[in-house]
Amino acid sequence: MAPAVTTAATRGLLFRLAWRNLWRNPRRTLIACASIFFAVFLSVLISSTQVGQNQLLIDTMVGFSTGHVQVHGAGYWEKRSLDQSMPADSTLLSGIAALPGVDHVVPRLETVALIAHGNVTKVVPVFGVEPLREDGMTGFGKRLERGTALAAWTDGALVGAGLARMLGANVGDTLVLYGQGYQGVTAAGLIRVAGILAYPIPDMNNNAFFLTLTEAQRTFAAEGRVTSIAVMLADQETSDAAAAAIRAAVGSGREVMTWRALMPELVQAINANNGGTVIMLLILYIVIGFGIFSTVVMMTTERRKEFRMVIALGMRRGRLALVTVIEAVLIALTGAMAGIIGSIPVILWLHAHPVVLGGEYEKVMLAYGMEPILPFSADPLVFWSQALIVGTLGILSALYPVVIVSRMTTSTK
């Protein structure tokens, strides 16, 4: 037991020695910590924005359209035709919903039809949905501006506010629907406007036309069939594993694709966003690294005579090098932790109150079908990754005094 007690005591002594050495020149230590604090603060903000933007992209594009995983009939994704629809019943849906990690299972019947009111006619995408399932995935119930409450919606159409304005229609008016149903059957009907939906995105506002799934199947002669089943997961990172499990559950004759395969352009947009952010973070890390390194160099240069003296007095070079390493790491971690602690309340506030963009930025975001906001992520990984990176920079900077001490002689010549 004695050697262990001695080792622990020695480690404690070396740590206290390193800590006291830092405060022999408090101004230099505080300046170094302050520079690391601001750099880490900025890097946390940038990382949080990057993760938040990626999440907004995925939530907007995936949440409103495909889901994290989509099940559809063989060949449907290429042809987008009702003829490639597939039968779906409650057994199939409940079987997918029972798989681990699945949050929502949303069946849809999607097609295109001509909608007319008075002298105005427009071709729009038509979505047949189950109201409560769809609301659980996209939250479109909160977009209901006026008309029938979502829970009581059993017939008629929910129409986007922009489309309703173009058609000159209001709640209670009757629209004419004309299109092609399953296997070439003519689909035609008079559809009452049950409600008006108000989306912040113009493209959705001008094209939203929802029927209940039952009414859509009846109108397009596709009873019991759906064009897709969108699956939302608790964790999007598990989409590949979930797709494999769903593929095994639904059997042959159906295709199962992840959102990455369904929307490669979204993956490219995320990669482009990550690339720009990485460049900015690299610049910040270079600033942080040189800040720590310059401090370590100054501390080492000022104390060369001291190092020679303590070596001459019998202190082992290894222990002296360990003291310098502890000093560098302490500076890095003190500044990094201060930056992380200082950024937490700011990030949490920005996460709850995302920045609303205006002017040209608003137009660009709306053009891409996204809400004009700058979101921030409060993912703990955003904070801890910065501490890990700065701690690594501190350790790398500590190699300099280690090399100096290892080569140092007790002679002053």
Segment 72-123, tens digit of pLDDT: 988 888 888 888 899 888 888 899 999 998 988 999 999 999 999 988 999 9
| Closest to 112 in 3D by CA, of 190, 226, 209, 193 | 209
Please give the pLDDT value at position 228: 92
d(CA 53, CA 354): 11
Please give the pLDDT value at position 367: 66
d(CA 158, CA 198): 10
Mean pLDDT over each residue of the chain, to the nearest integer: 85
Segment 13-61, tens digit of pLDDT: 888 888 888 888 888 788 878 878 888 888 888 888 888 888 888 877 7
Residue 311: pLDDT band (50, 70, 90) is confident
Question: How many CB atoms lie under 10 A from the CB of residue 243?
Answer: 22
d(CA 35, CA 40): 9
- Residue 107 β-bridge partners: 229
Q: Is the pLDDT of residue 5 over 50?
A: no
Hunting for tokens 């609301």 — which residue is that? Answer: 135
- Residue 129 β-bridge partners: 108, 212
d(CA 120, CA 114): 10
CA distances from 278 to 119, 273, 349 (A): 54, 9, 24
